[in-house]
Amino acid sequence: MKIFMAAFFASVLLCPGCSSKWTTHTACKNDKLELLYQSCDPLQDLGFSMDHCNNPISKNLKIRFGVILRHDIQELFLDINLFSMGKSILSYSYPVCEVDFPKFSFCGKKKGEKIYYAGDINNQAFPIGKVS
């Protein structure tokens, strides 16, 4: 029985990719607003947080973001879906890194490198007002 349990635990620990469910994380939460995020790779977890969780979301946000890359960044897209009372009210897609048009300094980073950012971002391009 001990050998079976050891083999079971080893397979669970060594095969994290056997689960394809993407973990949902909370970026910020208060009584009127909750922002959740997921990575598009169930094995690639990332950290993201916002300092203030306001409704409406302010134009200048203080964020923190960190990740250790599992793959080279050749192409990267940001997809945002906004839900209110369980219904999708907005979908937004933005090409962050394209092969021939890198927009940010982390485009082209290699597997194993770290990306970390803590600071302000300007939210002019994605206005989110009060949702009722």
Give me the pLDDT at residue 111, please.
Answer: 92
Domains of the chain: 22-122 (2.60.40.770)
What are the structure tokens assigned to 9, written together?
């635990």
pLDDT tens track for 82-122 = 777 778 887 888 888 898 888 888 899 999 999 888 888 77
CA distance 26 to 87: 19
Tell me which of 5 and 42 has the higher pLDDT: 42
- Residue 5 pLDDT: 44
Report whether pLDDT(57) > 70: no
Query: Is the model more confident about 90 or about 41?
Result: 90
Residue 128 clears pLDDT 70, i.e. is over it: no
Distances (CA, A) of 1 to 6, 7, 13, 15: 9, 10, 18, 21
